[in-house]
Amino acid sequence: MCALGLVLASLVPAAADDRPDAANTASTLLSGCWSDEALAGTEPERRSTWNKARLDLDALRKVTRPDRTPIPEPLRGSIRSVRLADGAKLIALTFDLCESNGHRTGYDGRVIDYLRDEDVKATLFVSGKWLESHPERGAQLIADPRFEIGGHGLSHRDFSRASASTLHDEIYLMEAAFLRARGRLMAKSCAWNAEGVTSLQDELTLMRFPYGWCNAQALSAVAEAGQLAIQWDVVTGDPDPNLSAKRIANAIVSLAHPGAIVIGHANGHGRNTAEALTLAIPKLKEAGYRFVTVSELLAAGEPVIAQSCYTERPGDQRRVAQVKKRRRDRRK
């Protein structure tokens, strides 16, 4: 293994083959704490609502975060995909569960339920505020070994325009929210002696920038916090109300490649995400792809790293920002 691979292996969790069987552990822990009815998503949960409830920042600041070594220079930057050895057909599905101040976003149980039904692994990039406002769903996601949790900022602030103090809170209090959510799970009597509890994820090693926007200061702040910055290279475009499930599925399948990282949403902002998955996942399985978490993907190859953030090609984020600014100016 090359030197970079050894460093990366020390930063990410063990690969799938080295961990307890996902299906057995899920059956023991999830079914022990929740019935099938309690796990199943509901339609009202998908909806976002206005909510002025504020985060308990004092409680989050009291959470002890484990010390972590900063990310070494070769791994700093925005990881967009992974270069795999010839023949390996691994792909990582990722879903954002964003939530910003003033809103309570949803929980798209149709996405999560389908992934569970198909025993498909995924990485969920969750805002700290979402974990605080969805305590039971957050505990369920952490309890499920099919899913890896990554950070997505405390309250989905734009990291490319944030001050140093805001970046600190968005990164460190995000992890505090994760640790609080994990603590709520561990406090349940059903989890005390459940098989697999000792192997539950206990820290955040991955971060996805809100909106996918960053700058050099944000990249450095995340790396100094000991987290890898994860972007994507396959865009579903699922928040677009004009995209049908068929078009989203076609985009996933046509752009898929070994080592790809796919971005979608599971907070109700993906309009046709669940239906698209029912079309895309069987086709990808038929093509020989195996679904893994981002950490497992990283452990299997060499990350493809950019020194800037963009949606599909370098510079496109600036154009998006300009369009949004013009829209704001017209509303004034």
55-87: pLDDT as tens digits: 999 999 999 988 999 999 999 999 999 999 888
Residue 46 tokens read as 């998908």
Q: 239 lies in a domain?
A: yes
Q: 85 lies in a domain?
A: yes
Q: 247 lies in a domain?
A: yes
Q: 284 lies in a domain?
A: yes
In this predicted structure, what is the pLDDT of residue 86? 82
Could you tell me the residue range of the domain that residue 294 belongs to? Answer: 75-331
Number of domains in the chain: 1
pLDDT tens readout for residues 148-178: 999 999 999 999 999 999 999 999 999 999 9
Region of poorest pLDDT, from 133-147, 251-265, 272-286, 306-320: 306-320
Q: 68 lies in a domain?
A: no
Does the structure show a pLDDT above 60 at 21? no
* C-beta separation of 276 from 249 below 8 A: yes
The residue-averaged pLDDT of 238-266 equals 98
Does the structure show a pLDDT above 50 at 298? yes
In this predicted structure, what is the pLDDT of residue 193? 84
Q: 65 lies in a domain?
A: no
Q: How many CB atoms lie within 10 A of CB 121?
A: 21
Nearest to 26 by CA among 191, 206, 192: 191
Residue 13's pLDDT band (boundaries 50, 70, 90)?
A: low
Q: 222 lies in a domain?
A: yes
pTM over cut 0.85: yes
Which CATH number does the domain housing residue 317 bear?
Answer: 3.20.20.370
Q: 175 lies in a domain?
A: yes
3-state secondary structure of 92: strand
